[in-house]
Amino acid sequence: MSEAYVRTETHQGITTIEFFHPQSNSLPGKILEEIAKEIHFAGTHAETKVIILKSYGDRAFCAGAHFDELINIKTEAEGVKFFSGFAHVINAIRKCPKFVIGRIHGRAVGGGVGLVAAVDYAIATDKADIKLSELTIGFGPFTIGTAIERKIGISAFSALAIDAAGWRNAEWAKRRGLFSEMHSSIESMDEAIYRLSNTLAHSSPQAMAEMKKMLWQGTEHWDELLKERATTSAKLLMSDFCKQALEKNRQLVK
């Protein structure tokens, strides 16, 4: 396949939202917008009892921000709009009254780690290594960092954000609570996702909605906070350092 997409299907109370991009399931603004929209809609849809967020394929789960789109951002306003795409997805998950299960089949970088941190319950394979590479490019994981710090704590988040060139393996992520479960194969992971989603689909919607509010207590200010974090990233994206780093990376890709 060569065309990026976001697809949604609902069966027996389980809504699956799948995204794909030919560049390792990276996230351009349009994909982020569609993911946020589908999560919001599923949250208001009576037929949906639980949501599964996944990406296509058996290699990378998500390569994070779409590099070509980053390079082509020319103004701070465009940068704010782009980084706000991650904020919209995180806030859509946060506000959704349904639990969101993450299917993490492979590596996650940058914004991909932010998606993993934002879901309510992440089930991964042992191939799902993670990295926050933003500092190597000239900005930092400000918007997504809000969700990551909440999930794994300031110490582990600091280690990821500062050692921006280093990978952490799936076991490291599991020990720090980023993954709720880790499995040795995709088949085992999918069995666990089916078991949990089927159980939740037959659980009380009202009880799950109340639990969701309880688990996200203390994040009510995130609409404004994530907007501020997106603005910080956009300002740094306009810096000479960042522009040079992006150009250097583009040359390496060629």
Q: Encode pLDDT of 206-229 as tens digits.
A: 999 999 999 999 999 999 999 999
Residue range 220-248: average pLDDT?
95
pLDDT digits (tens, 9 = 90+) for 78-122: 999 999 999 999 999 999 999 999 999 999 999 999 999 999 999
| pLDDT surpasses 70 at 250 | no
pLDDT value of residue 103? 99
Contact predicate 50/14, CB 8 Å: yes
Beta bridge partners of 54: 18
- Domains of the chain by range and CATH? 5-186 (3.90.226.10)
**How far out from the chain centre does Cα 140 lie?**
16
pLDDT value of residue 232? 98
Tell me phi and psi for residue 51, to 5 degrees: -120, 135
**pTM listed for this prediction:** 0.96
- Calculate the average pLDDT of the chain: 96
